Structure 1
Amino acid sequence: MSNTITSSISASSSGGGNNVASQIKNITQQITKLTKQLNNLSKSSATAELKKQQQQLLEVQIKMLQAQIAQLQQQQAQKVTAKQDSIAPTETKIDGVNNKTDTNQVDVYI
């Protein structure tokens, strides 16, 4: 493994036509790559100080990506809630002897 770490954080939060599921899939793949880099870091021939810096950088990148996934999931949940709220409940009228209808509105007092 080389001593340089490539940043694999993409601008997937911009939503450029991708749906949330594919964005989450891409971010998960990035997390997998960063985790592999983190695991291979111990095999690196870099100095202990450099390894520590790289480890911290990788951990921060992983946490950022995890936060991005959480944000996408939250946005998706908000969209579902908004969609459910926008659907107006339809009023059902029951016709029958003891039910008030538009044509049957007689009050009977005994």
Structure 2
Amino acid sequence: MTTINVSTPSLQSSGGGSSASSGNSIAAQIAQIAEKITQLTQKLKDVPNGSGSTEDKKKQQEMIQTQIKMLQTQLAQLQRQQAEEAQQKQEQKQLRAEGVNIPSADHQIDVYI
């Protein structure tokens, strides 16, 4: 009987950390996941040429496809988070650009005519 060795990728959940420190790590995680997907896709292509019964190959392909789907889901989540952080930074830049022109309760002038 043939032994099927398939490594399970570790999934990291991204919590509510500060956006300043997680900016680079999100990009790094995205790159790592993309690399894992590429590796698993290559494994998936190599399965039909490997040894073992047709049933074993089919099970191995299904396991690899499941891993790829999980990684794609995680990748989409990280990309969405990265886009949200970029949007927040853009909004903060716009607020800073407007500067004093933003009315607030502390900066009001009463004009009597």
Q: What TM-score, normalized by structure 1, do the two folds share?
A: 0.69
Cα deviation for residue 35 of structure 1 reads 1.0
| Letter of the structure 1 residue corresponding to residue 62 of structure 2 | Q
Pairs within 5 Å for 1:25-104: 25-86=31-92, 88=95, 89-90=98-99, 91=101
Q: For residue 11 of structure 2, what is the aligned residue in structure 1?
A: 11
TM-superposed CA distance for 1:30, in Å, is 0.7
Corresponding letter in the other structure for 1:26 = Q
Cα drift, residue 59 of structure 1? 0.6
Give structure 1 stretches of 5+ with no counterpart.
Answer: 93-101
* Residue of structure 1 equivalent to 2:29: 23
Find the aligned partners of 2:52 and 2:81 in 1 and give their Cα distance.
41
Matched position secondary structure for 2:79 = helix
SS in 2 for 1:76: helix
Question: Comparing both structures, which one devotes a greater share of its residues to helix?
Answer: 2
Counterpart Cα distance in 2 of 1:81 and 1:21: 15
1:3-32 CA-to-partner distances (Å, cap 9, x unmatched) read: 31122x123334796611111111111111
Flag structure 2 segments of 5+ consecutive residues without an equivalent. Answer: 103-108
Q: Report the identity percentage.
A: 39
Q: Which has the higher contact order (CA 8 A, sep 6+)?
A: 2
Q: CA RMSD in A?
A: 2.9
Q: State the aligned residue count.
A: 94
Please, what TM-score do these two structures have when normalized by structure 2?
0.67
Deviations 1:17-52 (A, max 9, x none): 661111111111111111111111011111111111
